[in-house]
Amino acid sequence: METVEFFPASESEISQILKSAQREGKSVYPVSAGNNWGYGDKQPVDQNAWILNLSKMNRILDFNPEMGILRIEPGVTQKDLQTFLEKNHHEFYVPNTGAGSRGTLLGNALERGFGIAPIQDHASAILSLRGILADGSVYESPLKEIDPLLGDCFTWGVGPHLDHLISQSSWIIITEASLQLQPKAECTDILVLSFSDDELSSVVGRLRSLMWQHEGAVGSIKILNKRQINKVNHKDGWTDFFLSSDQQSHQDWFLTLVVYSNAITRRPIIKSIKKQLRAIFRRSILVFDASRIRILEKFLSLLPFPSVRTFLLKVRDLGEMLRLAQGYTSEVGYKALDGSFDPNSNSYFDINKYPHQLAWLSPLCPLDPNSITNLLSEIRKIEEESPFQMKTLTWTVLNPRTLALVIPVIYSADKKDEFWTWYKAVHIRLKDKGFIPYRFHVNMMSFVTTELLPNHFKFVRQFEKSFDPQGTLLNGRYS
């Protein structure tokens, strides 16, 4: 049965569709663009649902450059915002992700996605919301009825804070939101270092103190496994090219740490971070900024040897990673799925033509050495026994207490039943060890609510009864 999809262009059209759906005993499944790749795309949980694709509601309604407050409709993509900021010479970061320019700002924030440029935790940047409830009434954030600006400035409002119930919920169709954007720093550098499995715990332990000491200056921190670097950066890791021989012998993991600073603070901050990392092991730490990458690129493009082309591509990929850190969109994330994809080719990665199905496995982990060791050893056992390919492992530091280990897992469409059985069993194994992902695929919903978090979702259903007693909105999604 073909799922019906509507593309409303206004709140009143949404209300009409909602009424028709209720008359016909259907539920509606709103998406901002439906590019939730690896988490179910725009597939509703309820097979009886109509999709409300809000991608045509893509206006940037307002931007307050003094305060960095952006008011948007749901369909606004990373690319739309980048174009707007560039055209108006506003030096602010696009809240980007590895999904690249087609990802929406709001869909990603409502899923509690995270990205590379500041502010990385996208749900935390939501200042206020407006949307339609199941009974057709319009919800607005607390202080909006007093003054729209105050509503964005003091997000707690007064009384119970309902906005926090709205990400990863199924109680409201969001039609508008204000997001906090962060102004760009003068200088952006990426520090790169490699280390071995044995050193993972001590490096991670050090990261917490780095974040506390240099709050605001230390940005995105990722720890990528060697396989990831090799896939993302062509046949042999770019680090083989850049790293000294002492680093090459410690290449199980690569840390990339972004530092934001200004001309005065840059040197002392980088020096202090390097010093603290060197206290763990004496090894060279590479620092790249945009001009260093440009010079390298230019130099390599002048060399007449064919083998240099590989290095040149590696430098360009590193440049793309830096662009993400600088708040631009980039398609470099797709190299985790297909190492031969060239993000500089100016074309999109066509996920519909990708020959595999994708599901992310992204367990959360306390930022503490024991937990990291336990999670990694379980994941490695799972991987060894897995009939499906776990492509890459990336630890992302979410805050000084938490990491997420993000793994794209691929399978072929004809093995889908086998895959979901295996995938659910993996989650039970992880739960038994004390780990659970931060976000779930549509196909996992009933399993999450009944097997993984049964107590929590009992409460969720109690709340849901008052917001959406008939289950008209996003039926089955996080409920």
Ligand X SMILES: Cc1cc2nc3c(=O)[nH]c(=O)nc-3n(C[C@H](O)[C@H](O)[C@H](O)COP(=O)(O)OP(=O)(O)OC[C@H]3O[C@@H](n4cnc5c(N)ncnc54)[C@H](O)[C@@H]3O)c2cc1C
Residues that bind ligand X (CB under 6 A): 30-38, 42, 54, 74, 97-99, 103-104, 106-108, 110-111, 113-115, 173-174, 333-334, 336-337, 351, 474, 477
CA distance 331 to 320: 8
Amino acid at 251: Q
Torsion over CA of 120, 356, 332 and 180, rounded to 10 degrees? -20
User: CB neighbours (10 Å) of residue 452?
Assistant: 18
CB-side exposure of 333: number of CA atoms within 13 Å? 25
| Straight-line distance from the first to the last Cα atom of the chain, in angstroms, rounded to the nearest whole number | 24
Amino acid at 141: S
Cβ(56)–Cβ(9) under 8 Å?
yes
Amino acid at 372: I
Q: Which residue in 387, 445, 437 sits closest to 416, CA to CA?
A: 387
Q: Where are the beta strands (DSSP E) in 400-461?
A: 402-411
Per DSSP, 179 falls in state: E
User: Residue 150: enclosing H or E segment and its boundaries?
Assistant: helix 148-153
Cβ(227)–Cβ(393) under 8 Å?
yes
Amino acid at 167: S
